Amino acid sequence: MSQNIYDKVRTNPKFTELVQKRSRFAWKLAIIMLVVYYSFILVIAFSPSTFGQPIGHGVTTVGIPIGLSIIFIAFILTGIYTRRANGEFDELTNQIKEEARSVK
Protein backbone atom coordinates (compact mmCIF):
# COMPACT_ATOMS: atom_id res chain seq x y z
CA MET A 1 0.00 0.00 0.00
CA SER A 2 1.42 3.40 -0.89
CA GLN A 3 2.12 5.88 1.87
CA ASN A 4 -0.43 8.29 0.36
CA ILE A 5 -3.31 5.81 0.66
CA TYR A 6 -2.13 4.76 4.10
CA ASP A 7 -2.21 8.39 5.27
CA LYS A 8 -5.70 8.88 3.80
CA VAL A 9 -7.00 5.87 5.69
CA ARG A 10 -5.33 6.84 8.98
CA THR A 11 -6.73 10.40 8.84
CA ASN A 12 -10.24 9.30 7.91
CA PRO A 13 -12.59 9.87 10.88
CA LYS A 14 -14.46 6.68 9.95
CA PHE A 15 -11.24 4.72 10.51
CA THR A 16 -10.97 6.11 14.04
CA GLU A 17 -14.63 5.27 14.61
CA LEU A 18 -14.09 1.73 13.32
CA VAL A 19 -11.07 1.11 15.53
CA GLN A 20 -12.83 2.47 18.63
CA LYS A 21 -16.09 0.59 18.06
CA ARG A 22 -14.35 -2.69 17.26
CA SER A 23 -11.99 -2.44 20.23
CA ARG A 24 -14.74 -1.51 22.68
CA PHE A 25 -16.97 -4.32 21.49
CA ALA A 26 -14.18 -6.92 21.53
CA TRP A 27 -13.19 -5.92 25.08
CA LYS A 28 -16.79 -6.21 26.27
CA LEU A 29 -17.08 -9.73 24.89
CA ALA A 30 -13.67 -10.68 26.27
CA ILE A 31 -14.61 -9.44 29.73
CA ILE A 32 -17.85 -11.42 29.64
CA MET A 33 -15.93 -14.58 28.72
CA LEU A 34 -13.28 -13.99 31.36
CA VAL A 35 -15.88 -13.45 34.07
CA VAL A 36 -17.71 -16.65 33.10
CA TYR A 37 -14.54 -18.73 32.88
CA TYR A 38 -12.88 -17.42 36.05
CA SER A 39 -16.11 -17.76 38.00
CA PHE A 40 -16.13 -21.42 37.02
CA ILE A 41 -12.49 -21.83 38.08
CA LEU A 42 -13.06 -20.01 41.38
CA VAL A 43 -16.00 -22.25 42.26
CA ILE A 44 -13.84 -25.29 41.48
CA ALA A 45 -11.03 -23.91 43.64
CA PHE A 46 -13.02 -22.80 46.67
CA SER A 47 -16.07 -25.06 46.61
CA PRO A 48 -15.33 -28.19 44.60
CA SER A 49 -18.27 -30.04 46.12
CA THR A 50 -20.65 -27.60 44.40
CA PHE A 51 -19.83 -29.00 40.95
CA GLY A 52 -19.27 -32.51 42.29
CA GLN A 53 -22.89 -33.11 43.21
CA PRO A 54 -24.45 -35.85 41.10
CA ILE A 55 -27.45 -35.16 38.91
CA GLY A 56 -30.12 -37.75 39.61
CA HIS A 57 -28.88 -41.29 40.16
CA GLY A 58 -26.29 -41.36 37.38
CA VAL A 59 -22.60 -40.53 37.27
CA THR A 60 -23.01 -37.08 35.70
CA THR A 61 -22.30 -34.21 38.07
CA VAL A 62 -23.46 -30.60 38.09
CA GLY A 63 -20.05 -29.53 36.76
CA ILE A 64 -20.50 -31.29 33.41
CA PRO A 65 -23.47 -29.25 32.11
CA ILE A 66 -21.97 -26.07 33.54
CA GLY A 67 -18.67 -26.77 31.76
CA LEU A 68 -20.51 -27.48 28.53
CA SER A 69 -22.44 -24.24 29.02
CA ILE A 70 -19.17 -22.32 29.18
CA ILE A 71 -18.13 -23.82 25.85
CA PHE A 72 -21.56 -22.96 24.42
CA ILE A 73 -21.24 -19.36 25.70
CA ALA A 74 -17.88 -19.07 23.92
CA PHE A 75 -19.51 -20.16 20.64
CA ILE A 76 -22.38 -17.70 21.16
CA LEU A 77 -20.02 -14.79 21.85
CA THR A 78 -17.96 -15.71 18.78
CA GLY A 79 -21.14 -15.72 16.69
CA ILE A 80 -22.18 -12.34 18.07
CA TYR A 81 -18.80 -10.84 17.20
CA THR A 82 -18.78 -12.41 13.74
CA ARG A 83 -22.26 -11.14 12.95
CA ARG A 84 -21.38 -7.59 13.94
CA ALA A 85 -18.00 -7.77 12.18
CA ASN A 86 -19.61 -8.97 8.96
CA GLY A 87 -22.27 -6.26 9.17
CA GLU A 88 -21.37 -2.96 10.75
CA PHE A 89 -17.56 -3.30 10.79
CA ASP A 90 -17.30 -4.51 7.20
CA GLU A 91 -19.58 -1.70 6.04
CA LEU A 92 -17.36 0.89 7.72
CA THR A 93 -14.26 -0.77 6.24
CA ASN A 94 -15.76 -0.67 2.75
CA GLN A 95 -16.66 3.01 3.15
CA ILE A 96 -13.11 3.79 4.26
CA LYS A 97 -11.64 1.91 1.28
CA GLU A 98 -13.96 3.65 -1.18
CA GLU A 99 -13.11 7.08 0.23
CA ALA A 100 -9.38 6.30 0.06
CA ARG A 101 -9.70 5.22 -3.58
CA SER A 102 -11.83 8.19 -4.63
CA VAL A 103 -9.64 10.92 -3.17
CA LYS A 104 -6.68 11.49 -5.46
What is the distance between the alpha carbons of residues 48 and 41, in angstroms, rounded to a whole number? 10
Which pTM was predicted? 0.81
Backbone angles phi, psi at 57, to 5 degrees: -105, 5
Q: What pLDDT is attached to residue 94? A: 92
Q: How do the domains of the chain map onto residue ranges?
A: 3-102
What is the distance between the alpha carbons of residues 13 and 32, in angstroms, rounded to a whole number? 29
Q: What pLDDT is attached to residue 103? A: 64
Contacts of 52 (CB under 8 A, 6+ apart): 61, 62, 63
**Which ranges constitute the DSSP H helices of the chain?**
3-11, 13-46, 48-52, 63-84, 90-102
| pLDDT average per 10 residues of sequence, the chain (104 residues) | 77 91 96 97 94 90 95 97 94 90 71
Residue from 44, 79, 51 nearest 66 by CA: 51
What is the distance between the alpha carbons of residues 94 and 15, in angstroms, rounded to a whole number? 10
